[in-house]
Amino acid sequence: MSAESDDDADSSIYANDSSSNLRITQLLKTKPLIDLLKEDKENCKQKDSEKLWYHGRITRDVAEDVLKRGLVRQNSIDGLFLVRESSFSSSSFVLSLCCKGNIYHFQINEVKTSHFSIDAGPTVQGLDRLIQNYQKLAQGLPTILTQFCKCKPPPDEQRYAGVTNILHKAVLEDKAELIQEILKSKYCPSINAKSEWGTTALHEACTYGFENVADLLIRHGANVNSLDRDGQTPLHRCCTANNAGIISILIQGGNANVNARNPKSGWIPIHQAAYQGHLKCLKILLDFHSPYLPRADDDDDTTPLDLAENYEHKDCFKEIDNFECQKVVTHKYDWFHPELDRHSAQKLLEFKGLSEGLFLVRNSKKNPDWHVLTLCHDEKVFNYEIKTKNYRDRHMYYIDDGPFYKSLEHLIQYYSYHNNGLPCALSMSVNTTKELIQISSDEDYSNLIETQRKPDKISPALPPRPDILEAPVTDTTKKHIGSHLTPPPSPTAPSMSPPPPPNHPPPFRQQSVSKAEAAPIELRRIDRKLLKLGREIGQGEFGQVVKGEYKKKTAGKTTEKINVAIKLFHRTAIDNTEDFLKEARTMQQLDHSCIVNFIGIAENDNHELMLVEEYIAMGSMLDYLLDYPSHVKKDDLYLWASQIALGMKYLEEKKMVHRDLAARNILLQDKKMAKISDFGLSRAVGSNSDYYKATTGGRWPIKWYAPECVNYGHFSHASDVWSFGITLWEMFSYGEQPYENMKGIEVIKFIEEEKRLSQPKECPDVAYKQMLKCWNKEPKQRPKFFELNQHFHQEDIYNTVVCREVMNKLRK
């Protein structure tokens, strides 16, 4: 690989300008925010005008057409170019270039995260700097780059630096409320835009310890894994600056990758914490399942333990040295097949159906001390060597550049919750008697998040996000990319670096994306022009929820204005469009008075999606219980409980499991009507079984889940009944947090020890009895929703005629 060029060589082109020194609060005295935002946008556009050579994902043919048209306009100039995304891989790009009447296409390889090269040319951080270098020197190209066909600037993530915008400035001034205003505005700059110093707004919030701001940015979709000019992610920055508080926000709120490697230093965040001697950061990272002995990407395999020792941070050294990595819950007999060779291992996995994440471990023929992990991904089989090494007199196991672990079991457990480096996490194994074994990582629900309690104004509680698999961005792609000098291809030759052959191991740290298991159904669309957006009423998983008005066409030509709730879709670094649409598709199939009614999907001018549903005036039941406990009588609770059970009975009839039944997801239309909402985690149960099997990772509301969900990923109507029991407990305790401050893993242990939540202070015995029934260890012994509906209807002993009427009407 060629040496990296000097990073500071051309930083002068990003020189500061005087306006960026002005405080935004001062500027606000001179004009309204909207004007500042418009000016800022214009200013950024102008400063980027020399970088509008990026054309996104267009094909080779289209690129040639664009260039040919450009040639006509520019009078056949040599060096006319554009950059496009490679159609083989979204992490590589292509430079299409005209010279002497020919068009050449050069593959731009991402050698390591955000570092690019063309053939044997220098490796440079950022597409913008790469192109800039080739605008000065040909370095192996047939010509220097002269002019470009105009389109748009390169993507934020792939840039070395950008233009300092109004959001960066507001963050540096720690103005959370102002930032919220900016983020709401349609003139808001891209949240992941880099400043002239190569940092995103989130990097700055992490450096300066602005917790509220970091939280806000994450909720609005900031990329938690983006790299700054020094190759640091926001997590690295927290560790450098000793801002331990933000680490949990990044991981819990944004699913930040604790394994993200700095491509320059080869360090992951825990290395950084150990180097600086920041014990608190180090401890938090370990709590969030950071590996404790990751190896730097260097010749010495430097670990955080080495760094703590070398830089004499005794407390950090002690913490790592004494760190007993979590107890293992996986056993060799579930996956170890010493007798199998490569061929028979493949055959066995094929026989077992090649499901995603299915694996076994066998002995290596190469070295008696080594093993091989044989793993299914994408219905193909891949083999990874598990090597061993003596480290500080300990026998350590590792895969490729992954962390050291002291036993095979620990290593397997680590890879069952982090796919770090592998194409997917390990989820199921074949044991020696050829049975399939679900890998239960027990202690290691690093992806699970407990939903927080009552939101504050600036930091609303973040609901769990469904099926977001880790999206590591650190790099080892270099392992699969050659850097041979290749002559420029003829205009008709195929691109220079072909995609890997089908059986080549997939690139390390490939991103897994959950598949939509529901057959796509045509979604009901509504015209955006018929919608009027109003104030914010909540923060949902995908972004803001606002109140709105919908001009509904009724019979004839008349229209009727109805109140609606509009869920705005904020695309995140991981493309979550499918999750958003999945929720819409599920809702569209439902029609019941105890379930929030779906109206349609709309799209704005920027092709951003919105989910429109009926407006439920009193909002979240949980908030109501917390805010107005004295307004809620026992008979209200009975009525709501019977309505929730009725809605769930309907869901059961539709063969769907909700998987996120909780007080926060019940909305109140008025005191007499509760409705179930939030179908983001809902799934259809199979036609031949009574449960849905979760195959992808995800962040689950563990405190609401039955043991079989946690242990085997089995979700059924009976597991929804368990969650109903927890919801009842929340209701009768007037919004208390179930299991208080216990962590997910502590709750699992608590339940396994046959312990259950205790009876809330004012909860009648009859209601608590039902809760205990819902929490029966045996799913089959739990009550059914129709029984629960009947029970709470009867328990509604003080109920008024109105309540009876409501329920009787609903039952019909």
Q: Does 140 sit near ligand AMP (CB under 6 A)?
A: no
Instruction: Write a three-state SS string for 618-679.
Output: CCEHHHHHHHCHHHCCHHHHHHHHHHHHHHHHHHHHCCEECCCCCHHHEEEEECCEEEECCC
Contact of 602 with 552, CB cutoff 8 Å: no
Q: Scan residues 620-639 and list those touching ligand AMP (CB under 6 A).
A: 620
Binding flag, residue 616, ligand AMP (CB under 6 A): yes
Are β-strands 428-430 and 358-363 bridged in parallel, bridged antiparallel, or unpaired?
parallel
Count of residues that bind ligand AMP according to CB under 6 A: 19
Is 649 in contact with 789 (CB distance < 8 Å)?
Answer: yes
Q: Is 538 in the site for ligand AMP (CB under 6 A)?
A: yes
Q: Is 598 in the site for ligand AMP (CB under 6 A)?
A: no
How far apart are the C-alpha atoms of 566 and 548, rounded to whole Å?
6
Q: Which stretch binds ligand AMP (CB under 6 A): 164-172, 436-444, 615-623, 731-739?
A: 615-623
**Residue from 245, 619, 707, 764 binding ligand AMP (CB under 6 A):** 619
Inter-residue contact 400 to 384 (CB < 8 Å) = yes
- Measuring CA to CA, which residue among 807, 393, 500 is closest to residue 641? 807
CB of 623 to ligand AMP, least distance (A): 7
**Residue 391 dihedral angles phi and psi, to the nearest 5°:** -130, 115
Q: What 3-state DSSP class applies to 806?
A: helix
Q: Which of 382, 615, 691, 705 binds ligand AMP (CB under 6 A)?
A: 615
The verdict on 596 binding ligand AMP (CB under 6 A) reads yes
- Judged by beta carbon, residue 439 or residue 564, the one nearer ligand AMP is 564
3-state secondary structure of 85: strand
Question: Based on the number of CB atoms within 10 Å of its own CB, is 16 exposed (0-12), middle (13-18) or buried (19 or more)?
Answer: exposed
Smaller CB separation from ligand AMP, 294 or 701: 701
* Segment lying near ligand AMP (by CB under 6 A), choices 19-27, 616-624, 644-652, 654-662: 616-624
The residue with tokens 């001018």 is 605
Instruction: Name the token pair of 238.
Output: 């927290």
Is the CB of 142 or the CB of 538 nearer to ligand AMP?
538
CB of 643 to ligand AMP, least distance (A): 16
Binding letters toward ligand AMP, positions 674-693, x by CB under 6 A: ---xx---------------
Q: Kindly tell me which residue out of 201, 273, 537, 803 binds ligand AMP, with binding defined by CB under 6 A.
A: 537
Could you say which DSSP state residue 99 is in?
Answer: E
Rounded alpha-carbon distances, angstroms, from residue 434 to 331, 354, 408: 15, 13, 20
Known catalytic residue at 660: yes
Q: Is the CB of residue 271 less than 8 Å from the CB of residue 265?
A: yes
CA distance 535 to 523: 26
First to last CA, the chain: 72
Task: Work out whether 545 is an interface residue with ligand AMP (CB under 6 A).
Answer: yes
| Binding of ligand AMP by 579 (CB under 6 A) | no
Helix, strand, coil distribution of the chain in percent, nearest 5: 35, 15, 45
DSSP calls for 107-127? EEEEEETTEEEETTSPBEESH
Q: Are 474 and 113 in contact (CB under 8 A)?
A: yes
Of the listed pieces 176-184, 536-544, 601-609, 802-810, which binds ligand AMP according to CB under 6 A?
Answer: 536-544
In what helix (H) or strand (E) does residue 795 lie, and over which residues does it extend? Answer: helix 785-795
Strand ranges (DSSP E) for 301-435? Answer: 358-363, 371-377, 380-391, 394-399, 428-430
For ligand AMP, give the closer residue by CB, 318 or 454: 454
Q: Residues 466, 540, 713, 779: which binds ligand AMP (CB under 6 A)?
A: 540
x/- map, 641-680, ligand AMP, by CB under 6 A: --------------------------x---------xx--
Of 660, 678, 720, 796, the active-site residue reads: 660
Cβ 463 to ligand AMP shortest distance, Å: 5
In this chain, which stretch among 128-136, 534-542, 735-743, 752-760 interacts with ligand AMP, using CB under 6 A? 534-542
Q: Which of 228, 356, 401, 613 binds ligand AMP (CB under 6 A)?
A: 613
Q: Choose between 402 and 701: whose C-beta lies nearer to ligand AMP.
A: 701
For the bound state, the minimum distance from the C-beta of residue 285 to ligand AMP, rounded and expressed in Å, comes to 29
Task: Tell me whether residue 402 or residue 543 sits nearer to ligand AMP (CB atom).
Answer: 543
Looking at 79, 198, 291, 463, which residue binds ligand AMP (CB under 6 A)? 463
* 541 sits near ligand AMP (criterion: CB under 6 A): yes
**Burial, 102: exposed, middle or buried (Cβ in 10 Å; 0-12, 13-18, 19+)?**
middle
Q: Say if CB 715 and CB 683 are below 8 A apart.
A: yes
Residues in touch with ligand AMP (CB under 6 A): 463, 537-541, 545, 565, 567, 596, 613-616, 619-620, 667, 677-678
What is the set of active-site residues?
660
